[in-house]
Amino acid sequence: MARWLSRGKVLVITGVAVVVAAGGVAIAVTGGHTSSGQGVAASTATAGNSTPNASPIASTPERSSGSSAPITPTPSPTGPRTGAGTPVTVRLYENDGQTFGVGMPIIAYFSQKITDASVFDKAVTVTVNGQPADGAWYWEPSSQSGEALEAHYRLPSYWPAHADIEVNMPIAGLWAGPGMVFADSLTLAMKTGPAQLAAVNGTPGIDTMTITSDGKPVRTLKVSLGETTTPTLEGTAVVMEKDNPQQMVSAPGEEPAYSISVPWSVRVTYDGEFIHDAYWNGEIGQQNLSHGCTNLSPADAQWYYGWSQIGDPVTWTHTGTSAVVPVTDGWGDWNLPWATYAAGGLLPPTS
């Protein structure tokens, strides 16, 4: 179906900001996440969509007044470099206690476009099953309105399945670049579910989506991908949200124009690629006829909608194009070589 769709907003979650003042007195500014790892449940309401079983990206309430208060840190001769000036509030996409697929990056959003990530990179820690993780942060322009920057964290390969992942961000009061200071300290405790992987082969006449869970075959589904003029992008995308139904509309100026309510829709890019029910397509498994989406039969689409989890990776090959899902189009983190990703994107870790 069409790729032109508005993006969802994201829930703002602020944290506990701890500042060490003169004399060693700790001042706490409380918000959504706490230093003990207690999170705030995410809202899953999308504007204009009241479908009970929809699971959109999130909505964005106002930031708490506690996170926007200026911070005047006390320099420490032995600890991380402290900052002063404009406060930079930070929030996470994920929430405590949630479970994601093994392709899910940890996502942090920043209210200001910081210019130095060196202190952040050294202060923030990530563990997997209690052991230090060997991943990296990649900085990119924010996909969300109202946010200036975002950073994604992943490992060189997918997270292990059935794992406990913890993030500790003790950054309140620390340097975020000249004239900027981090305003929040956050923690996160999330999990991964089974390693649910999907591999789509778009070779005409093959057109299959092979699905495994923890290395064991689950199902092979017939698909129809994008036609020659609107090919499905190659590479790996990650399940972002699920909507039943999803209203899909043509791009401005596209002929013939259309607006259609599509059942069992699983989003994989911001730009509008979905895996969805295509009850109108009589050539599933035979020809590639879509506008770029991955078409499934009604029964297969309903099954995949119920089975998939946010963060499940899906990889497309032989789609008829050399174009790959961009790293910033949804969560295309897995389409960058590890050396490029670990270099940090907009903000190298040693800047």
Which DSSP symbol is given to 343? T
Q: Are residues 159 and 297 located together in one domain of the fold?
A: no
The reported pLDDT for the residue numbered 351 is: 52
**What are the C-alpha distances in Å from 15 to residues 23, 175, 183, 290, 342?**
24, 17, 9, 43, 26
Question: When comparing pLDDT for 253 and 78, which is higher?
Answer: 253
Percent residues over pLDDT 70 in the chain: 77
The reported pLDDT for the residue numbered 255 is: 79
Q: Are residues 40 and 81 located together in one domain of the fold?
A: yes
Two tokens, residue 41: 């449940």
Helices and strands in the chain, H and E counts: 3, 24
In a domain, 92, yes or no: yes
The count of C-alpha atoms lying within 13 angstroms of the C-alpha of 337, restricted to the half-sphere facing its C-beta, is: 2
Rg of the Cα trace of the chain? 21
Q: Are residues 238 and 96 located together in one domain of the fold?
A: no
Task: Please report, for the domain that includes residue 274, its CATH number.
Answer: 2.40.440.10
Q: Are residues 86 and 205 located together in one domain of the fold?
A: no
In a domain, 168, yes or no: yes
In a domain, 348, yes or no: no
In a domain, 9, yes or no: no
In a domain, 351, yes or no: no
Mean of pLDDT values over 46-68: 37
The reported pLDDT for the residue numbered 135 is: 98
Assess whether pLDDT exceeds 50 at residue 263: yes
Q: Are residues 61 and 183 located together in one domain of the fold?
A: yes
Distance CA 74, CA 139 (A): 28
Q: Are residues 325 and 270 located together in one domain of the fold?
A: yes
Q: Are residues 151 and 238 located together in one domain of the fold?
A: no
Task: Please report, for the domain that includes residue 46, its CATH number.
Answer: 2.60.40.3710
| Helix, strand, coil % over all residues of the chain, rounded to 5 | 10, 35, 60
The reported pLDDT for the residue numbered 256 is: 81
Q: Are residues 168 and 277 located together in one domain of the fold?
A: no
Token pair 């590890």: residue: 338
Percent residues over pLDDT 90 in the chain: 72
Q: Are residues 254 and 187 located together in one domain of the fold?
A: no
- Average pLDDT value over all residues in the chain: 83
In a domain, 12, yes or no: no
The reported pLDDT for the residue numbered 254 is: 80
At 341 the three-state DSSP class reads helix
Q: What is the pLDDT confidence band of residue 17, given thresholds at 50, 70 and 90?
A: very low
Q: Are residues 250 and 144 located together in one domain of the fold?
A: no
In a domain, 349, yes or no: no
Q: Are residues 150 and 106 located together in one domain of the fold?
A: yes
Q: Are residues 157 and 128 located together in one domain of the fold?
A: yes
Q: Look at the chain and report how many structural domains it folds into.
A: 2
Mode of pairing for the β-strands spanning 294-296 and 274-277: parallel
Q: The pTM is what? A: 0.77
pLDDT tens per residue, range 86-99: 999 999 999 999 99
Q: Which domain does 237 fall in, by range?
A: 196-332
Task: Tell me the backbone φ, ψ of residue 301, rounded to 5 degrees.
Answer: -65, -40
In a domain, 86, yes or no: yes
